[in-house]
Amino acid sequence: MSMEILEPTTTAATQVIAYAARPAALAGKRVALVENTKFNSDKLLQRIGELLKTEYGAAECTMYRKHNASVPAHQEIIEAIRTSADVMVAGVGD
């Protein structure tokens, strides 16, 4: 005898995410570095920040630290970056 079964999966609601426009060049831009707390993620981003300044003319780099690797950046960081940086680099160190 035939039977009918129900689908167990859910499709997440789609949402449109707007990205900020990328700057054409980094010269004079303020860079935010967001590290995820894992070993050496700060060192890696520090080095990237130095290269962005020496090779691309970025004005300054500021490091921010998430609470831990498995959560999104908290609101305080997001607000600080929104007001004090033009460009952001988020790194996953492991």
Partner 1 sequence: MATLTSTRYRVDDAAAAIDLCFEKGWTDGLPVVPPTEAAVRAMLDAARLAPDAQVAYIRDRAVAITAEKVAINAVMAGCMPEYMPVVVAAVEGIGDPRWGYHGPGTSTGGAAVLLIVNGPIARELDINAGDNLFGPGWRANLTIGRALRLVMRNVCGSLPGLLDRGTVGHPGKLSYVIAENESESPWTPLHVERGFRPEQSTVTVMAAEAPHQFYNQLSNTAEGVLTTLADNMRISGNVMGQPHYCLVIAGEHMRTIAASGWDKKRIRQFVWDNTQNSHAHLKRTQRMSGAVEAGDEQKMRPLVASPDDILVVAAGGRAGAFSCFIPGWSSAKSSAAITKEIKR
CA angle 57, 59, 62 (to 5 degrees): 125
The nearest distance, CB 61 to partner 1, in angstroms, is 23
Residues at the site binding partner 1, with contacts judged by CB under 8 A: 1-10, 12-13, 15, 39, 67-72
Q: End-to-end alpha-carbon separation of the chain, Å? A: 55
**Closer by beta carbon to partner 1, 4 or else 55:** 4
The nearest distance, CB 56 to partner 1, in angstroms, is 30
**Closer by beta carbon to partner 1, 1 or else 24:** 1
**Closer by beta carbon to partner 1, 19 or else 39:** 39
